[in-house]
Chain A
């Protein structure tokens, strides 16, 4: 394997490149945070096992942005696809229809029972 590491100098660039890698290969792309308290340094890294994008920082403002990034990644990875939502809605509709049918059948049976009593 040939690994090419790219150190970016701005966080905006990091976000753009990270997005590019994630959309291209969501299954193999991962996001990494390395924190050294003794150096007071944070390194953000995104890789798809072919290229690596890395961003080093010692700034507090970048940490705040990093928190937003973390939330965004977590949300993105656990997002339910529209297909899944559609399938769930279909299943619920089917269940409702079944229940309605069952209710109708019960009514018919009750009516028949009343007629028989007469």
Chain B
């Protein structure tokens, strides 16, 4: 994986999105990144960093974001997603009603068991 700075990352991610427009996928991963610990700095509090990675399955690029970068990155990242994720459909309300949370079947399975204990 190649670590780049924030503006380069955004540029390259935009390129990947356009490259995979007709065919292929883009993966974006965000995770908490423990900063490099030097023995001298152990007493000092660690600055929290986020690692943001982007790949097309072959090439991967990443960038580190910390508290000073976040707000700017959030805004630019959001606009990047908006411009590229543009062909999703608006679902009808009828189709939305068909969606049920996956926890419901488990609750229904428990209900008859309870009835059994009451009868005893």
CB 8 Å contact bits of A74-103 with B (1 = contact, 0 = none): 110111110110011000000000000000
Given contacts A13-B101, A27-B34, contact A79 B67 (CB under 8 A): yes
How many Å from the CB of B47 to the closest CB on chain A? 7
Contact of A74 among B34, B73, B81 (CB under 8 A): B73
| Residues of the A chain whose Cβ atoms lie less than 8 Å from the Cβ of B50 | 73-74, 77-78
How many Å from the CB of A29 to the closest CB on chain B? 7
Q: Give the docked Cα–Cα distance between A33 and B24 (Å).
A: 14
Q: Does A113 make an interface contact (CB < 8 A)?
A: no
Contact of B48 among A13, A40, A70, A81 (CB under 8 A): A81
Q: Does A61 make an interface contact (CB < 8 A)?
A: yes
Interfacial residues, chain A to chain B (CB-CB below 8 A): 6-10, 12-13, 26-27, 29-38, 40-42, 57-63, 66-67, 70-71, 73-75, 77-81, 83-84, 87-88
Contact of B32 among A7, A9, A77, A84 (CB under 8 A): A77
Q: Give the docked Cα–Cα distance between A9 and B100 (Å).
A: 7
Whether A87 contacts B44 by the Cβ 8 Å rule is: yes
Which secondary structure characterizes the binding site on chain A? mixed
B95, closest chain A residue (CB): A59
Q: Jot down 13 A-B pairs with beta carbons below 8 A, ordered by A.
A: A37-B84, A37-B87, A38-B21, A38-B22, A59-B88, A59-B91, A67-B81, A73-B50, A74-B50, A74-B52, A77-B48, A77-B50, A78-B65
Whether B87 contacts A40 by the Cβ 8 Å rule is: yes
Using A36-B25, A66-B81 as known contacts, list a sample of 19 further A-B pairs with CB atoms less than 8 Å apart, ordered by residue number in A.
A9-B100, A10-B99, A13-B101, A34-B27, A35-B17, A35-B26, A38-B21, A60-B89, A63-B88, A70-B30, A70-B81, A73-B30, A74-B30, A74-B52, A74-B70, A77-B32, A78-B66, A79-B48, A80-B47
Given contacts A32-B27, A59-B88, contact A37 B74 (CB under 8 A): no
Contact of B30 among A12, A30, A37, A58 (CB under 8 A): A30
Interface residues of B in 8-44 (CB under 8 A from A): 17, 20-34, 44
